[in-house]
């Protein structure tokens, strides 16, 4: 077997487990090459349509030719072109032009690489939020049902992971719900705050388009507005460099990381309660908890959420550092980092939400175990009532507390 045979086998190559093992098909597609490069072609079509409508020499036949080839991407040709040109956008311009010979002269007319690159990223971010928000809503719904069902079931509360006063199973779930509701607010806000980069020039000045339209400022502004609307955005950023501000990435990923912290806390709580055998995550009939200890019922789903939530939280360092080192109108040291950090944040958030939904749909509560723990601690919990009764009878609270404590 040759080296080429070995490396030609997909199972001999590293594949991110975020895609191969965990993430949903819709989120994996959202950050796929297919979605990315078909979006580039759509953006070139939007640009051509708007330029035609505003009087530039673009014909209906050229637009129709581009539209007929929006989906049939020759990825092998694009890869070969990129290996020669060392430029991914121009490689795809050439590949698109190859199947659209009539439209070739006007593809990418007046645009810079970030016209397709940044605008596509913003579309993916927007669509990523649209995938996550319903999943978060479902988790909140399932957990709300759980909280309502167990609103009146007393259980030991814990502070410092030491038995404290009573709470209820439902009340504790409301602590989780409140955090998730804050995450819903944050994700909705981040999604609604997203704008389109729009049709800007190499340094964000739109000078190239002003030249195309022979100094007509109104047409340049109309072009920006028309393409923004075609892409499904209400607004474009008023000011950009060559790229949209990388603060936008911080805004998006910080809310995802914050949600990761919420889910880590929820799943850690469930893991602690599983150790007490008060509550446990769903455990399938044929599931194996341990290869050596078959009696074990490990909280594997919660552990997975905690593990991936740490990754989601850690990813926030990338956009923070990237935004801080963007020089003047732009520098390219953002590119390779963002190819990893943006998709991985959304893929990871997608996975932990799907897993948490599964957990919250099948949480198992053991009231008898909970009752036994309460009864064991009840004499100690009664001390607060005893102290208050002593104070009412004229005693000193601090002295009584010290005596009872000792």
Contacts of residue 81, defined as CB under 8 A and 6 or more positions apart, other chains included, come to: 90, 91, 92, 94, 95
Q: Residue 373 catalytic?
A: no
The encoded tokens of residue 352 equal: 């932990």
Ramachandran angles phi, psi of 375, nearest 5° = -60, -35
Q: Residue 160 catalytic?
A: yes
Catalytic position from the list 2, 83, 160, 291:
160
Q: For 360-401, give the DSSP string.
A: HHS-EE-HHHHHHHHHHHHHHHTHHHHHHHHHHTT--HHHHH
Q: Residue length, the chain?
A: 406
Q: Which residue has the tokens 């439902």?
A: 170
Strand ranges for 64-106 from DSSP E = none
Contacts of residue 237, defined as CB under 8 A and 6 or more positions apart, other chains included, come to: 195, 196, 197, 198, 244, 245
157-183 b/e with 16+ CB inside 10 Å = b?
ebeeeebeeebbbbbbbbebbebbeeb
Catalytic position from the list 68, 290, 307, 324:
290
Catalytic residues: 160, 290
């Amino acid at each position: 077997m040759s080296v080429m045979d070995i490396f030609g086998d997909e199972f001999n190559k590293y594949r991110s487990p975020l895609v191969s093992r965990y993430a949903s098909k819709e989120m994996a597609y959202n950050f796929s090459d297919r979605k990315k490069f078909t979006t580039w072609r759509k953006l070139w079509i939007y640009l051509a349509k708007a330029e035609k409508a505003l009087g530039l020499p673009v014909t209906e036949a050229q637009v129709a030719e581009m539209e007929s080839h929006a989906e049939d991407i020759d990825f092998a040709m694009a890869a070969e072109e990129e290996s020669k040109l060392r430029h991914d956008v121009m490689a795809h311009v050439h590949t698109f032009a190859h199947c659209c010979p009539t439209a070739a002269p006007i593809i990418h007319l007046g645009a810079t690489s970030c016209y397709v690159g940044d605008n596509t990223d913003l579309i993916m971010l927007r669509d990523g939020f649209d995938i996550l928000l319903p999943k978060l809503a479902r988790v909140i719904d399932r957990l709300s049902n759980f909280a309502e069902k167990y609103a009146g079931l007393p259980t030991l509360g814990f502070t410092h992971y030491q038995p404290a006063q009573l709470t209820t199973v439902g009340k504790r779930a409301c602590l989780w719900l409140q955090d998730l509701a804050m995450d819903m607010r944050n994700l909705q806000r981040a999604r609604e705050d997203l704008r389109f980069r729009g049709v800007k020039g190499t340094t964000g000045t739109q000078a190239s388009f002003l030249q195309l339209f022979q100094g007509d400022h109104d047409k340049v502004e109309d072009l920006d507005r028309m393409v923004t609307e075609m892409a499904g955005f209400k607004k474009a950023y008023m000011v950009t460099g060559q790229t949209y501000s990388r603060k936008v990435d911080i805004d998006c990923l910080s809310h995802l990381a914050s949600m990761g912290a919420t889910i880590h806390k929820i799943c850690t709580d469930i893991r602690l309660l599983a150790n007490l055998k008060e509550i446990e995550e769903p455990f399938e009939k044929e599931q194996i908890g341990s290869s050596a200890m078959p009696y074990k019922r490990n909280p594997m789903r919660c552990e997975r959420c905690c593990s991936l939530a740490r990754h989601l939280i850690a990813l926030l360092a990338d956009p923070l550092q990237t935004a801080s080192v963007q020089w003047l109108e732009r520098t390219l040291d953002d590119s390779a980092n963002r190819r990893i950090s943006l998709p991985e944040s959304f893929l990871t958030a997608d996975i932990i939400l799907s897993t948490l939904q599964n957990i919250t749909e099948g949480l198992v509560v053991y009231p008898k175990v909970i009752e036994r723990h309460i009864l064991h601690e009840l004499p100690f919990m009664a001390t607060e009532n005893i102290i208050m009764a002593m104070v009412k009878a004229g005693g000193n609270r601090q002295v009584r507390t010290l005596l009872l404590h000792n």
